[in-house]
Amino acid sequence: MDTVKQSNCNCYRGRFAPTPSGPLHFGSIITALGSYLDAKSKKGTWLVRIDDIDQSRNKLDADKIILDQLEQLGLIWDEPIVYQSQRIDLYTIAFKKLEKLKCIFSCDCPRKEIKGIIYPGTCRNKIHALNSNQSIRIKTNNTPISIFDRLQGYYSQSIDSEIGDFIIKRADGYFAYHLVAAVDDGEQNITHIVRGFDLLDSTPRQIFLQKKLKYKTPAYLHLPIAIDIKGKKISKTDKVTKFVASNPKRSLVNALIFLGQSPPPGITGSDIKTILDWAIDNWSIELLPSKSKIHYSPYLK
């Protein structure tokens, strides 16, 4: 068993890392607010990083809309915004380190053959140079990676048998999510990650990469995700729950209630700063619902 030592640094550095594929919606406001309150309640630093590495998903000006929404919500970041699309050099350095370690390989398996299955290691032992027109995967192993999530408790995964060798650079040339997340969190000295439960099962892959690249492992907290009446994750395309820019206070209070906090009745009559100050002073992890999904219907309409 490979037990991961997680950060217990008292110089808290947290982050919110939205993809600019559309405006914030209720689900992403929960994550933004949860990570902000956790950082601020520990007098920490809170960063915003735009995860725009996959440019095929980016929508024009979505980053500006997201930053504007965060400002309306009073969630103000402490350091300049970082854009992944401007950090390709850092990812290239990390990629070269992994290449030096001889733990990555080109994979030419037809996508339809391996889509949705555990990668069976077909190309792992083929001896040839890396081909930049093919997916690049990293060799994994079956040592379980166990983490203690601050909300969800222990979580363990054997990457080799549950996921397989995973992609760190795609055939279309983009560095993959897990690699850029591990590099960014490492380079930005992130000590605490607060994000949605749907990313819990990707955490061991990021820890695997952190260790290869000699980065420290942050502490993790995976919040429940908001689902609609059909059990589907509330997404940016969901018209019903789209962020209502005209009423950020209502969005904040709804998010606080979703997160199990108990804002006093009538707090929506206060200004944003008063609501956030209350939320920082009263932030309690013990009150968070330790579920993976919660059906959401707005408490305040």
Please give the residue ranges that form the binding site for Zn ion (CB under 5 A): 107, 109, 122-123
* 110 vs 265, beta carbon nearer Zn ion: 110
User: What is d(CA 12, CA 236) in angstroms, rounded to the nearest whole number?
Assistant: 29
Residue 107 Cβ vs Zn ion, minimum distance, rounded to whole Å? 3
d(CA 241, CA 82): 27
Residue spans of alpha helices (H) in 157-262: 159-162, 177-187, 203-212, 248-258
CB nearer to Zn ion: pick between 124 and 216: 124
Shortest Cβ 122–Zn ion spacing (Å): 4
The SS3 of residue 171 is coil
CB of 55 to Zn ion, least distance (A): 25
DSSP letter (8 states) at residue 87: -
CB closer to Zn ion, 123 vs 285: 123
Where b means 16+ CB within 10 Å and e means fewer, 204-226 reads bbbbbbbebbebebbbbbbbbbb
- CB of residue 131 vs Zn ion: minimum separation in angstroms? 11
Please name the amino acid found at residue 93.
Answer: I
Compute how many other C-beta atoms are within 10 angstroms of the C-beta atom of residue 117.
8
Give the separation between CA 248 and CA 254, rounded to whole angstroms: 10
d(CA 295, CA 95): 40
CB closer to Zn ion, 103 vs 109: 109
Q: How far is the CB of 174 from Zn ion (least distance, A)?
A: 18
In the bound complex, what is the minimum distance in angstroms from residue 105's beta carbon to Zn ion? 8
| Cβ distance to Zn ion smaller for residue 66 or 107 | 107
Report the residue number, 107 or 209, with the smaller CB distance to Zn ion.
107
